[in-house]
């Protein structure tokens, strides 16, 4: 099929030709270079900061906590200092900043600045945080606790035929965006202009306004951004503060550019999770009760942990109907680099937990994994754990049945069981198979998953995202929005939405540069909200624009016009949209987003409509395991996504491909651990991500079930693909070994241990 030019990404050519200017491409006269002095301890008291007299300090600028007007980074809470003053709480915490005319001089200065520390006891286990005598936050080191309760678990226990308990763990995950963190701050009289690789310009502006408290006005400019995945949502507020403080004190423009080592060691990660789960089930495999104690390891400071926790707690039971539920979810403090936003935002940890519960049930009940899921799938008209009635665009069962059929799941399940039998028998006997290409164990597994579109509960109403569209002198609508392009194709989506709303070519639509002096605060580019929420504002304004022009034409010519396919028709006149729009150059349309009135959520008791709507998906993964090396390879991956409406079909397919591969990495490649508070990776040498050779064959299908309050029926997509990939892969490994695998990442050495269990116990756990 010939590609449709309307579906091409509007930013593709500039990036392919090398014309796009990333933050490191900026050429600013007199630019100084900044760097960070960091703590080598997970927790310690700062005794002194000493300056070596042998160095000429007048040639550089140094900033410490005493130089910070208001020493906190404004996020959900104000607990994280811009620079540590008395106590450091994680390895790599910033203690001082240095700027110099050259990177070499800045590094030389760092060698002559000596920080004296007294090491202190620290917390490195999230399960010990609450009871620890070490207090990082409040009286119990719990940043946030959420309780969701429904029904009666005592009644569930009475009616259950079986009670299954298990612990599930997920690890850290690094964003590995192509472009490491980078920021430039430019002092301009009474203003500081910050330009950088970031997701949420108004987050950065708000944080700097809090730090400077009127000492300087703040402008934030979004530079072309080479990937983010959530890693440039919260962290840029800290990095921008560092660059701005150095620029403020030195009087020079200052750049801080992290290399990969600094980025991977000291920026935010995906929260590790631990859950203790008890599930009650009847003889037919139907869930009657669920009791979950769920922990997120948040690291040293709050950052965005409360809202990551909220999404995890609200997602964890989402694909299944369970009449009796108790979820106790906690975000706890440890002396580790803070965890923060990451694509999926608590969803991957939650869905992995619930899908492993379903796997465990299948094993204990001696049922096929797909059958246990099938009889428990939630459907339209049923209620979630918070009491939300699923009303709109519910496709849980449709995606499930579609992916099972397309993958030929049942037939392959039986076939692979037979295939594996002689190889497993040799493993049990300790006789490893003779190596030849066919000597591999074959697995097939599945997952069902969802993602709530937009912010939790009434979040969108609190944000009150605003959008402006202006008509320029050429009659072209210009979209003014704070939403940022970071590789996800948002620029294309916005221009296409307005072009379709106006029935004009996409080339007629323009987007203003993202600069907080110019664009309104349309909210952050997070939470799979941009297309659904901001896109709905675009379509609404598009309709208002047509209505306004029709009224003006009637008034001008004295007879009515109608509008279709980019033209105004009235009497014998046919006027192109652009000709009419040009007469209204300078006209401004503005709109503020409000949730549809039916959405009600009680954030004190966690009851009601957690999200306006959900996107639904299911996946089947096929894997091969080498029975000698236990190397794991995902060979085929099938997934069906229902996202309301695909605004740009090809781009949506690409999002699903990329997100799914990222989830596969989360499952079997990306191992990151802490050792005495230190993260044990330094870059691509020791942090392994899937590459093109690890890409499985992917069979992707998009279902459309329009959401009436989204643009052309669209819902959120960006985060959904990552959420369900890991459990599908691990499901396939459980199918091979018929033994519990309840943690990720799963490494070859983990499977080797399972093989030893098979050998010792004859296949019994």
| Edge-to-edge strand list for the sheet holding 217-222 | 61-63, 94-100, 32-38, 254-257, 182-188, 191-196, 217-222
SS3 label, residue 474: coil
SS3 label, residue 711: helix
Phi, psi of 679 (to 5 degrees): -75, 140
The mean pLDDT value of the chain amounts to 95
* Span 161-182, average pLDDT: 97
Tallying the residues shown for the chain, one arrives at 765
Q: Which of 650, 643, 608, 669 is nearest to 721 (CA)?
A: 643
Measure the CA–CA gap between 312 and 746, rounded to whole angstroms. Answer: 21
Least confident of 639-643, 749-753, 758-762: 758-762
User: Which class would CATH give 459-594?
Assistant: alpha beta
**pLDDT by residue (tens digit) across 641-671?**
999 999 999 999 999 999 999 999 999 999 9
Q: What is the per-residue burial (b if ≥16 Cβ within 10 Å, else e) of 387-415?
A: bbebebbbbbbbbbebbbeebebeebbee
Dihedral sign, Cα of residue 632, residue 633, residue 635, residue 638 = positive
**pLDDT by residue (tens digit) across 245-280?**
999 999 999 999 999 999 999 999 999 999 999 999
* Span 598-618, average pLDDT: 94
Domain 126-174+269-348 in CATH 3.30.365.10? The answer is: yes
User: Which class would CATH give 377-384+392-455+609-761?
Assistant: alpha beta
pLDDT greater than 80 at residue 509: yes
Q: What pLDDT is stored for residue 290 in this prediction? A: 98
- pLDDT exceeding 70 applies to what percent of the chain? 98
Q: What is the per-residue burial (b if ≥16 Cβ within 10 Å, else e) of 477-513?
A: bbbbbbbbbbbbbbbbbbbbbbbbbbebebebbbbee
Q: What pLDDT is stored for residue 6 in this prediction? A: 56
Say which CATH superfamily domain 22-122+176-266 falls into: Aldehyde oxidase/xanthine dehydrogenase, a/b hammerhead (3.90.1170.50)
Topology agreement, domain 377-384+392-455+609-761 and domain 459-594: yes
Map out the domains of the chain as residue ranges.
22-122+176-266, 126-174+269-348, 377-384+392-455+609-761, 459-594
pLDDT greater than 90 at residue 318: no
pLDDT level of residue 80 (50, 70, 90 thresholds): very high
Peptide bond between residue 341 and the one before it cis (omega within 30 degrees of 0) = no
Q: What pLDDT is stored for residue 457 in this prediction? A: 85
* Span 330-341, average pLDDT: 98
Per residue, the 3-state secondary structure of 326-378, as one string, reads EEEEEEECCCCCCECCCCCCCHHHHHHHHHHHHHHHHHHHCCCHHHHHHCCEC
Least confident of 341-345, 354-358, 437-441: 437-441
Specify which residues 568 forms β-bridges with.
563, 575
Measure the CA–CA gap between 566 and 564, rounded to whole angstroms. Answer: 6
Measure the CA–CA gap between 468 and 514, rounded to whole angstroms. Answer: 12
**pLDDT by residue (tens digit) across 177-234?**
999 999 999 999 999 999 999 999 999 999 999 999 999 999 999 999 999 999 999 9
**pLDDT by residue (tens digit) across 448-461?**
999 999 888 888 88
Q: Residue 80 in contact with residue 338, Cβ under 8 Å?
A: yes
Least confident of 92-101, 525-534, 605-614, 658-667: 525-534
Q: Residue 528 in contact with residue 720, Cβ under 8 Å?
A: yes
Measure the CA–CA gap between 366 and 261, rounded to whole angstroms. Answer: 47
pLDDT greater than 60 at residue 390: yes
pLDDT greater than 90 at residue 471: yes
Q: What pLDDT is stored for residue 1 in this prediction? A: 40
- pLDDT exceeding 90 applies to what percent of the chain? 91
pLDDT level of residue 16 (50, 70, 90 thresholds): confident
Dihedral sign, Cα of residue 128, residue 132, residue 137, residue 139 = positive
Phi, psi of 205 (to 5 degrees): -60, -45
Q: What pLDDT is stored for residue 764 in this prediction? A: 55
pLDDT level of residue 7 (50, 70, 90 thresholds): low
pLDDT level of residue 5 (50, 70, 90 thresholds): low
Least confident of 13-17, 243-247, 550-554, 717-721: 13-17
pLDDT level of residue 528 (50, 70, 90 thresholds): confident
Measure the CA–CA gap between 610 and 617, rounded to whole angstroms. Answer: 18
Q: Which residues contact 230 (CB under 8 A, 6 or more apart)?
A: 175, 199, 340, 341, 342, 343, 345, 526
Measure the CA–CA gap between 464 and 414, rounded to whole angstroms. Answer: 53
* Span 128-132, average pLDDT: 97
Q: What pLDDT is stored for residue 224 in this prediction? A: 95
Q: Which of 366, 317, 359, 377 is nearest to 445 (CA)?
A: 359
Q: Which residues contact 114 (CB under 8 A, 6 or more apart)?
A: 49, 50, 51, 52
């Amino acid at each position: 099929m010939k590609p449709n030019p309307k579906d091409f990404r509007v930013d593709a050519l500039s990036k392919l030709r090398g014309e796009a200017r990333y933050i490191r491409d900026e050429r600013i006269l007199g630019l100084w270079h900044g760097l960070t002095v960091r703590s080598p301890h997970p927790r310690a008291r700062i005794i002194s900061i000493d300056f070596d007299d042998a160095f000429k300090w007048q040639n550089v600028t140094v900033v410490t906590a005493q130089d910070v007007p208001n020493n906190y980074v404004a996020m959900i809470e104000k607990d994280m200092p811009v620079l540590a003053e008395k106590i450091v709480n994680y390895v790599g915490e910033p203690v001082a900043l240095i700027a110099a005319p050259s990177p070499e001089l800045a590094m030389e200065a760092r060698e002559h600045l000596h920080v004296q520390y007294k090491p202190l006891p620290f917390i490195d286990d999230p399960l010990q945080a609450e009871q620890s005598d070490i207090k990082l936050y409040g009286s119990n080191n719990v940043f946030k606790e959420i309780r969701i309760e429904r029904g009666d678990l005592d009644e569930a226990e009475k009616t259950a035929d079986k009670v299954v308990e298990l612990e599930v763990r997920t690890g850290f995950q690094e964003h590995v965006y192509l472009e490491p963190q980078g920021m430039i701050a430019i002092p301009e009289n009474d203003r500081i202009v910050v330009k950088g690789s970031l997701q949420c310009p108004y987050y950065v502006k708000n944080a700097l306004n809090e730090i400077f408290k009127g000492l300087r006005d703040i402008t934030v400019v979004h530079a072309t951004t080479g990937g983010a995945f959530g890693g440039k949502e919260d962290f840029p507020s800290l990095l921008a503060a560092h660059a701005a403080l150095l620029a403020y004190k030195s009087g020079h423009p200052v750049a801080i550019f992290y290399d990969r080592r600094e980025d991977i060691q000291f920026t935010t990660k995906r929260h590790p999770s631990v859950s203790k789960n008890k599930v009650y089930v009847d003889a037919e495999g139907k869930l009657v009760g669920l009791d979950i104690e769920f922990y997120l390891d948040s690291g040293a400071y709050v950052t965005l942990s409360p809202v990551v926790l909220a999404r995890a707690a609200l997602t964890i039971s989402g694909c299944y109907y369970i009449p009796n539920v108790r979820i106790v979810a906690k975000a706890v403090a440890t002396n580790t680099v803070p965890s923060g936003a990451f694509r999926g935002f608590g969803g991957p940890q939650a869905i992995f937990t619930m899908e492993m519960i379903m796997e465990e049930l299948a094993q204990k009940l001696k049922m096929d994994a797909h059958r246990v899921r099938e009889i428990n799938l939630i459907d339209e008209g049923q209620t979630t754990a918070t009491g939300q009635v699923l009303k709109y665009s519910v496709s849980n069962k449709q995606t499930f049945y579609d992916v099972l059929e397309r993958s030929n799941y049942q037939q392959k399940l039986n076939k692979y069981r037979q295939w594996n039998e002689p190889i497993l028998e040799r493993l049990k006997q300790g006789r490893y198979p003779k190596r030849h290409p066919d000597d591999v164990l074959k697995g097939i597994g599945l997952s069902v998953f969802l993602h709530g579109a937009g912010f939790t509960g009434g979040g969108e109403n609190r944000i009150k995202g605003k959008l402006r569209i202006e008509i320029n002198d050429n009659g072209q609508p210009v979209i003014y929005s704070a939403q940022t392009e970071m590789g996800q194709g948002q620029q294309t989506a916005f221009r296409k939405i307005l072009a379709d709303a106006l029935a004009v070519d996409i080339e007629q639509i323009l987007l203003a540069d993202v600069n907080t002096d110019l664009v309104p605060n349309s909210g952050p580019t997070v939470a799979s909200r941009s297309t659904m929420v901001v896109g709905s504002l675009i379509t609404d304004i598009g309709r208002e624009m047509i209505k306004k022009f029709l009224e003006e034409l009637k008034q001008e010519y004295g007879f009515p016009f109608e509008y279709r396919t980019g033209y105004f028709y009235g009497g014998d006149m046919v006027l192109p949209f652009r000709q009419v729009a040009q007469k209204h150059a300078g006209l401004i349309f503005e709109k503020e987003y409000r949730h549809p009135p039916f959405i009600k959520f009680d954030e004190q008791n966690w009851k009601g409509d957690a999200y306006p709507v959900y996107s639904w998906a299911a996946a089947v993964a096929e894997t091969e395991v080498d029975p000698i090396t236990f190397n794991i390879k995902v060979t085929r991956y099938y997934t069906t996504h229902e996202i309301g409406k695909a605004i740009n079909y090809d781009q949506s397919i690409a999002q699903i491909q990329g997100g799914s591969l990222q989830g596969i990495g989360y499952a079997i490649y990306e191992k990151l651990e802490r050792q005495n508070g230190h993260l044990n990776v330094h870059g691509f040498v020791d942090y392994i991500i899937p590459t093109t050779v690890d890409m499985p064959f992917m069979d992707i299908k998009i279902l459309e079930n329009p959401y009436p309050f989204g643009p052309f029926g669209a819902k959120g997509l960006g985060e959904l693909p990552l959420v369900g990939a890991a459990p599908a892969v691990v499901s396939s490994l459980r199918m091979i070994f018929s033994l519990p695998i309840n943690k990720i990442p799963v490494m070859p050495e983990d499977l080797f241990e399972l093989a030893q269990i098979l050998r010792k116990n004859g296949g019994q756990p």
